[in-house]
């Protein structure tokens, strides 16, 4: 699944999942309103989670902490206001916080998992280039054999992938000449 599809899948999936869980506990007139609120909060959670998972910047973590803190403060305030009125809006708020937290959690870990594969590739590629361009490794037969045994298969796959990218780029038709 492409990263661009992550956001709507998390938003819609979690909003509808939580909405189905509380569907039978809501009055008929409240069902559509709660669904709209759930969609809004899951979209916020999925946005913050996706950005946090894809980024390695510390500022994104601070934004996530700020959004969770703001939401938590709002929930406490609504609960206090709800308890004084005797309504059950606090229960709906709890369900919305569940949807927000769940969408944040799922989006963050799915996005960070998507970030890990390219980083892992770059990590191994840099080590393979370092190993096989080191003058001491190439000239010493024993060292070269040890390096080949330890990293040969990984580096061969990485170099084959890089070569296929170069060949694909070379085989593209040349651009038309500019007059």
pTM check: above 0.75:
no
pLDDT tens digits, one per residue of 63-87: 777 877 787 777 767 766 665 665 5
Q: Is residue 176's pLDDT more than 70? A: no
Evaluate whether 128 touches 155 at the Cβ level (below 8 Å).
yes
Q: Which of 88, 62, 94, 63 is nearest to 76 (CA)?
A: 94
Residue 51: partners with Cβ closer than 8 Å, 6 or more residues away = 60, 63, 111
Evaluate whether 156 touches 133 at the Cβ level (below 8 Å).
no
Q: Count of residues for the chain?
A: 179
Q: Residue 88 class from Cβ within 10 Å (0-12 exposed, 13-18 middle, 19+ buried)?
A: middle
pLDDT tens digits, one per residue of 100-134: 888 888 888 888 888 887 888 888 889 888 988 88
Average pLDDT, the chain: 79
């Amino acid at each position: 699944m492409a990263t661009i599809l992550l956001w709507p899948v998390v938003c819609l999936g979690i909003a509808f999942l939580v909405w189905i869980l509380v569907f039978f506990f809501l009055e008929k007139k409240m069902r559509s309103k709660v669904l709209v609120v759930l969609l809004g909060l899951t979209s916020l959670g999925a946005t913050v989670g996706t950005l946090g998972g894809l980024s390695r910047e510390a500022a994104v973590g601070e934004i996530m902490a700020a959004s969770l803190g703001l939401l938590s403060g709002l929930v406490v305030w609504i609960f206090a206001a709800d308890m004084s009125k005797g309504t059950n809006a606090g229960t709906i708020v709890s369900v919305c916080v569940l949807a927000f937290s769940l969408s944040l959690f799922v989006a963050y870990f799915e996005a960070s998992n998507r970030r890990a594969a390219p980083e892992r590739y770059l990590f191994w590629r840099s080590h393979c280039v370092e190993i096989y361009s080191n003058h001491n490794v190439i000239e010493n037969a024993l060292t070269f054999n040890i390096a080949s045994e330890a990293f040969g298969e990984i580096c061969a796959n990485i170099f084959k992938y890089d070569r296929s990218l170069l060949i694909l780029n070379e085989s593209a038709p040349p651009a038309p000449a500019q007059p």
